Amino acid sequence: MNADPTPTPLAPATAADDVLLRVENVVKHFPVQSGALLRRNAEVVHAVDGVSLEVRRGETLGLVGETGCGKSTLARCITRLYDLTSGTVVFDGQDISRLSARRMRPFRREIQMIFQDPYGSLNPRRRVGSIIGDPFAIHRTATGQERKRRVQEVMELVGLNPEHFNRFPAEFSGGQRQRIGVARALAFRPKLIVCDEPVSALDVSIQAQIINLLADLQAELGLTYIFIAHDLSVVRHVSNNVAVMYLGRITEIAPVEQLWQHPRHPYTDALLSAVPIPDPDKSSRRERIILAGDVPSPISPPSGCRFHPRCPKAAPTCVETVPELEPRLGDEGNHLAACHFPVEDGEDLSKSRPTISAEDRVIESGLLGSA
């Protein structure tokens, strides 16, 4: 580790509120219909629709939301795997949202990604050493023995046996494969690692190993994480701040304990009420908020607040105007919620009834607890 010629870029002695990544108004739309010769983009999927957030150096931002809410799309916009429809991504003071592939290359070393599927994210036909050595090969920073040495170094760092660098991914278990994915992301000691549901595909016992590994590496190397998950307890464990997404927008963002204790957005409240409580007595006493209906189609998202068709507190205002993401009910400046009628502390949402007409709501018997 210490023999590494390029010393670990530990978080420099800057202020704690030093912003590493600033995402401003990022929009990503996918055209649904497109002939290759005659481009007729009749409809678009509003995957990400105006997301702004900040990640400070050395901290972890958790990103939660239901499947299809745009978490992974946002991650791929930040890592520039997708081109943005509009908006900016400022990384380390540099706007990277419009850079060409060539100009983007140096930033590729600084921003890395860990993928969800430890089976799909490793090329089955390539040896582990070659997969982890990819960053060195692509950026032509190390060859031959030097590359092998650095690959084995990273393998040791993530708890893999360096002797195994000649094996194929198929010879490893799911957890080990995810370690390989972590090793590949770490090869260049990046500043930011975007973890796209890094543990969702793993056994619970293995999840803990990987989460602890990520935490250790963060402490050791001063990494900054964006941690996407739909498992709220995992997010609570790893994050400093948590952003809740719904249908391509952020509904609430706050420091993790603040969010857990004082959820302002009804959606956040509903999500949190779906987290299982291990104590059966407590669990049965708790009121679960059951959301009606399904997530609306991102092709034609609802007007106003996108949550209004399912919200127990929905009112005519929610249909008409988009709520701003701002501090509500006298919260501090780091706790923002996009809701016209934020949830008061101790309010029981399961007793609320919306005041808008039934046509504006999804009336369905198929109910989702959602988490």
Partner 1 sequence: MAFNIQESADAVAGAVPAPGADTAVAARKIEGRSPWRLGMERLLHDRASMISLGTIGVILLVAILAPVFAALTGHGPNQQFYAPVGLTAQGQPLGPSAHFLLGTDTLGRDILVRIAYGTRISLIVGVFAAMISVAIGAIVGLAAGYFGGLTDTVLARFMDWLLAIPFLLLAISLVTVIGPGLVVLLIVVGGLGWATVGRIIRGQVLSIREKEYVEAARSLGAGPWRIMFIDILPNVIAPIIVYTSLLIPVSIVAEASLSFLGVGIPPPTPDWGAMIADSQSVFEYGAWWYLVFPSAALLITTLAFNIFGDGVRDAFDPRGGQLFV
Which residues sit at the interface with partner 1, rule CB under 8 A? Answer: 36-37, 76, 79, 81, 101, 104-105, 108-109, 111-113, 115-117, 120-126, 131, 134-135, 138-139, 167-168, 170-171, 181, 184
Q: State the nearest-atom distance from the C-beta of 63 to partner 1, in Å.
A: 17
Q: Which is nearer to partner 1, 126 or 149 (CB)?
A: 126
On whether the CB atoms of residues 154 and 132 are closer than 8 A, the answer is yes
Q: Which is nearer to partner 1, 98 or 105 (CB)?
A: 105
CA angle 302–305–309, rounded 5-degree value: 55
Q: State the nearest-atom distance from the C-beta of 196 to partner 1, in Å.
A: 9
User: Which three-class secondary structure state does DSSP give residue 136?
Assistant: helix
Q: State the nearest-atom distance from the C-beta of 114 to partner 1, in Å.
A: 9
Q: State the nearest-atom distance from the C-beta of 130 to partner 1, in Å.
A: 9
Strands 86-91 and 94-95: antiparallel
Q: Which is nearer to partner 1, 122 or 339 (CB)?
A: 122
The distance of Cα 235 from the centroid of its chain, to the nearest Å, equals 10
Q: Which is nearer to partner 1, 156 or 171 (CB)?
A: 171
On whether the CB atoms of residues 63 and 231 are closer than 8 A, the answer is no
Q: Which is nearer to partner 1, 109 or 237 (CB)?
A: 109
Give the DSSP letter of residue 12. P
Strands 224-228 and 60-64: parallel
Q: State the nearest-atom distance from the C-beta of 213 to partner 1, in Å.
A: 18
| Token pair 């291990």: residue | 278
Q: Which is nearer to partner 1, 82 or 267 (CB)?
A: 82
The distance of Cα 68 from the centroid of its chain, to the nearest Å, equals 12
Closest by CA position to 361, among listed 300, 316, 299, 298? 316
CA 257 – CA 259 distance, rounded (Å) = 5
Distances (CA, A) of 237 to 34, 215, 257, 262, 362: 42, 10, 10, 17, 34
Q: State the nearest-atom distance from the C-beta of 140 to partner 1, in Å.
A: 11
